[in-house]
Amino acid sequence: MEIDKRTSNILDQTNSKTVGAPPSTTGLAGDQLPDTIFTAGNFDLVRNQLNLEALNLDALQMLNVLGQITNTQSQAGPIVNTQVVKRIVDTTGSGNPTGDIFVPDHGTVWELCTLDWEGKNATSMNFWIEDENSNKSRIDYQSSTGSTIYSGVVKVGYPCKIVYNISGSTGDNTFSASVVRVR
């Protein structure tokens, strides 16, 4: 099989990487996972080297296959090993502070899994998806004694971000969000 130069260059950069995590029977599970596993970050670095042009068709097809077999490119769901929890403590004290909870990287899309308002030292809390022009769309949640529960399906991609707005703050407010990358 003959491989064109562009495809060969990409494969040369990834030839020291493992397609995925080994099974637990190898004894390399958990904290002992090798550094050679191909990650979503590796995939981003490689794909950013290709222009969308006819000369790169073979390399683009190879990149799509690479993304699928390493589970670093999603067609219909979360990308493995990308879930993160962002915890924010707003120490403004009083007033109506606003801030960022999660800002996705350029070219990525994330799904909000959970959203929680833990420190309830305010009259109310609102969560929003906000774009670069400060246009906002509210994220629905239910607030009850001791917890705030996010409900619904929300995806956020650059240049939008997840923000909070506290009304009538009387002290520190703590909240967290769990997100997982889907693109």
What residues have CB less than 8 Å from 48, skipping those under 6 apart? none
Q: Is pLDDT at 53 greater than 60 in this prediction?
A: yes
Higher pLDDT pick, 100 / 6: 100
State the pLDDT at residue 24: 60
Tens of pLDDT, residue by residue over 55-102, are: 888 888 888 888 888 878 877 788 888 999 999 998 988 888 889 999
Burial of 36 by CB count in 10 Å (0-12 exposed, 13-18 middle, 19+ buried)? exposed
State the pLDDT at residue 4: 81
Q: Is pLDDT at 116 greater than 90 in this prediction?
A: no
Domain with CATH 2.60.120.230 in the chain: 84-181
Q: What angle do CA 10, 11, 17 make, to 5 degrees?
A: 115
Instruction: Give the model's confidence band at 22: pLDDT under 50 very low, under 70 low, under 90 confident, else very high.
Output: low
Q: Does an H or E element contain 109, and which?
A: strand 109-117
Q: What percent of the chain has pLDDT over 90?
A: 16
Q: With respect to CATH, is domain 84-181 assigned 3.90.190.20?
A: no
State the pLDDT at residue 130: 92
Whole-number average pLDDT of the chain: 81
Q: What is the largest CA-CA distance in the chain?
A: 68
Q: What percent of the chain has pLDDT over 70?
A: 84
Q: Is pLDDT at 32 greater than 60 in this prediction?
A: no
Return the sign of the alpha-carbon dihedral for residues 8, 16, 13, 69: positive
Q: Is pLDDT at 149 greater than 70 in this prediction?
A: no
> Cα(first)–Cα(last) distance of the chain, in Å?
31
Question: How many other CB atoms sit within 10 Å of the CB of residue 179?
Answer: 24
State the pLDDT at residue 161: 94
Instruction: Give the model's confidence band at 148: pLDDT under 50 very low, under 70 low, under 90 confident, else very high.
Output: low
**Of 128, 139, 112, 123, nearest to 163 (Cα)?**
128
Q: Is pLDDT at 144 greater than 60 in this prediction?
A: no
Compute the average pLDDT of residues 141-168: 75
Cα separation, 162 vs 155, whole angstroms: 10
Burial of 61 by CB count in 10 Å (0-12 exposed, 13-18 middle, 19+ buried)? exposed
